[in-house]
Amino acid sequence: MQKLDPRARKVKILATTGPASREPDMLRRLFKAGADAFRVNMSHGDHATHAQTIQAIRALEKEFGRPIAIFCDLQGPKLRVGEFKDGQAVIRHSGHFTLDRNPEPGDETRVHLPHPELFGLLAKGQRLLINDGKIRLRVIEADEDRIFCSAEVGGVISNRKGVNVPDAEIPIPALTEKDRKDLAFAVEHGADWIGLSFVQRPEDLAEARKLMGGRGSLCAKIEKPMAVRRLDEIVELADGIMVARGDLGVELEPQEVPPLQKKIVNKTRTAGKPVIVATQMLESMIESPAPTRAEVSDVANAVYDGADAVMLSAETAAGEWPEEAVTIMDKIATQVERDDAYLDRVRFLDTPPDRTTADALAHACMTIADTVAIEAVTVFTGTGSTARRVARERPSVPMLVLTPSMTTARRLALLWGAHAVVTKDIGSFEEMIAKGKRMALRHGFGRAGSKLIALAGVPFGTPGSTNLLHVVTLVGNELEKHGA
């Protein structure tokens, strides 16, 4: 087993796999460069390829002895236009264009829209955005058979381009037939996180939950204005949230996205759940070995906001410089966290503890670490709940999470500040102290003379019983005394 030092940063990096990165050697290089978790995009590729990717990631776990999260991202109900006689057509600026139910190939005046749920739903004045907003249509008249529009922004439109409808809640389920098959595949292959795309309402999470059957954590991707309107309910029902700025940036005005990103991050952090900032973070690195200054600032801003994780999409999935993209993101995050003002910035958000013993102790961990020279917080947990409570407080020191559950350890790979280690459960206070010291020394979270906070629950092994906080001092022969 190779030894890999703990990350020098608390924010996590989620790297998307794809043609440029799914081979075992490249996955290893990305992991060593700083990737803490890998995203498998179910919109592309087939199940056989995804199975090989997952197998290669699990092999990395064994090689380095570190849990890695696998995030399977469902495609969701993407709306698309039909096809054109010549493969494409040109919609004239300020001209008229019709979307209808006629399956015949389209031209410069009309095209088939194979989504009957949209007809009779749209009203005069509402917008239709095509091809990531490059074409902008405004509804003049709509009925059960056609949607007649004026082209505020025209241009070239080609087969199967995506359609966004920002002004209406679309009465379609969050899971397509393809999504159901992909979800079954993901849970059967041990995915740790499931990304639910195009969430519009809290109810969208219910079907996914049922199909998951308690396997994996559910991440709601916020990329529709309708989801923003019910954000509190969605955050409450999800295990985590992704700020998916791709479609969100299409359906909203560009200037609306940054404050909304901060709102989503803050709401999720306050709830004590992981939040991921995603899409176009280092977009230029798809083709360039170096990012733009604006992209560096974008990543840094997400880290300063206290996001649990930042994500790379096409940069690692299909780009020419996948390893360099992870390396740069790691360097940006590490540099930001070294800033003297970093802790003040991430704690600018008030996250008062709930009125429970567990939350009070998690808050105390932060206070003690600010007051005493503490090297790390050692958390004993079965479900990960205690680790999430501590992470919500954004302590100044890293968190060594000891858990008997590999499932829990993997899911925590997307939690701010958490370094999870799978170990046998503890049965007594003395065993807790001894194991906490031993694991801290073994995994590089202190040396002789270092102080640690130990956080656990008595009786041991009982979920939700966090009620014990203890400050311990490491001694140099701890590994020798208890065996390495």
Q: What is the spatial distance between Cα 253 and Cα 270, in angstroms, rounded to a whole number? A: 26
The amino acid at 61? E
The answer to whether 390 touches 374, Cβ cutoff 8 Å, is no
Residue 41: CB partners within 8 Å, gap ≥ 6? Answer: 16, 17, 18, 73, 317
Please report how many Cα atoms fall inside a 13 Å half-sphere around the Cα of residue 366, on the Cβ side: 20
Decide if 39 is catalytic: yes
Q: Is 110 a catalytic residue?
A: no
Separation between Cα atoms, residue 242 and residue 261, nearest integer Å:
10
Separation in Å, CA 368 to CA 228, 365, 385, 452, 475: 37, 5, 20, 10, 20
Provide φ and ψ at 175, rounded to 5°.
Answer: -115, 125
Catalytic residue among 221, 245, 435, 437: 221
User: What does the alpha-carbon distance between residue 32 and residue 28 come to, in Å, rounded to a whole number?
Assistant: 6
- Determine whether 80 is an active site residue: yes
Positive or negative, the Cα torsion across 109, 115, 121, 122?
Answer: negative
Any catalytic annotation for residue 270? no
Q: Which of 78, 80, 134, 262 is catalytic?
A: 80
Q: Which two tokens stand for residue 74?
A: 């469902």
Long-range contacts of 120-127 (CB under 8 A, 24+ apart): 120/144, 121/168, 121/170, 121/171, 122/147, 122/165, 122/168, 123/168, 126/165, 126/167, 126/168, 127/165, 127/166, 127/167
Task: Output DSSP code: residue 462.
Answer: -
Choosing from 10, 12, 28, 39, which is the catalytic residue?
A: 39
Cα distances (angstroms) measured from residue 191 to each of 42, 68, 271? 12, 10, 23
Q: How far apart are CA 126 and CA 149, in angstroms?
A: 9
- Could you give the strand order of the β-sheet that contains 399-403, starting from the edge strand earlier in sequence? 418-422, 399-403, 374-380, 451-457, 466-473
Per annotation, catalytic residue among 16, 268, 279, 466: 279
For the annotated catalytic residues, the residue numbers are: 39, 80, 221, 279
